[in-house]
Amino acid sequence: MNYLITIIGPTAIGKTALSIKLAQHFNCDILSCDSRQFFKEMSIGTAVPTTEELAAAPHHFIRNKSVFDTYTVGDFEQEALSLLDQLFTKNNVQIMVGGSGLYVDAVLKGFDEFPDIDASVREQINADYDKFGIEYLRQKLKESDPVYYQKLEAENPQTLVNPQRMKRFVEVCLGTGKPYSGFLGKRSVQRNFTPIIIGLQADREKMYERINLRVDNMMQEGLLEEAKKLYPNKHLNALQTVGYRELFDYFDRKITLAEAIEQIKTNTRRFAKRQITWFKRTENVHWFDYLTAVTEIIAVIEKQIKDLKNS
């Protein structure tokens, strides 16, 4: 039996440090499912593991794509499962870590199946988007699938400004004449591993303190310079993310640098709250305070593996 230890939790909670200690204990690899750390041009603003951390255990899906590449969560699912098949031949315990709930779910549970959509529908949506912008997509989804729109608005509003994903939602609605949400939860997938899910958490005040400190550290490490290099390509989907958008507004002279830094902190805290909302819906999670000793977490994991073997 194979086991995929999956570490979840909000940003800046300590997932990377824990994943390395677990990888060293179980002598295995680490798959990152942080959708912002895939891109090699975005290191500082995405808190990519340091050179020392990367050397401490084998890592995958870190800085492996370019912001100029088209890379979907479906692509990640296929690549991650293929890699896991290889890794499990060496060790039946592997680790996945990250704060991108959709990408975690893709590997653990898979995606729902959607019917083929006529290419002309996509072309028309692209043309309308070019003409009317993201508000057109939002309005179309609101009309076609109000239930799903309200769910996104409450739980993952970042998606509502993601053109790539919004186009897909609208494409399914218009191409099938049915709401996008009507296709969700219909598919049952098989995996050749059993997930053991470890969640890290902290009280809100401590979590916000860690986020604020991380943003200050990022600025000291050169986030402003990193964002400046990416600024000419600010329209790219990969760059529509916290830590870069705010600095782009500073470069556009819409806000001061001090305001941009404060907005990064505020928006990161909001992002963390959405991550918590998402992960709290995940079943069978072993939740730990972020200060819990690694030995205690390892004991829980090893007990679950033993229980699963004996069941």
Helix (H) or strand (E) holding 111: none
Residue 285 Cα to chain centre, angstroms: 18
Burial of 303 (0-12, 13-18, 19+ CB in 10 A): exposed
d(CA 297, CA 39): 30
- Is 11 annotated among the ligand-binding residues? yes
- Is 10 annotated among the ligand-binding residues? yes
- Is 146 annotated among the ligand-binding residues? no
- Which residue is it, tokens 């009317």? 132
- Is 14 annotated among the ligand-binding residues? yes
d(CA 19, CA 39): 20
- Is 15 annotated among the ligand-binding residues? yes
Amino acid letter, 200? L
d(CA 290, CA 292): 6
- Which residue is it, tokens 């709290």? 280
| Helical spans, DSSP H, in 133-244 | 134-144, 146-155, 163-176, 204-221, 223-230
Residue positions forming the annotated binding site for substrate: 11-16
Q: Which residues are annotated as a binding site?
A: 9-16
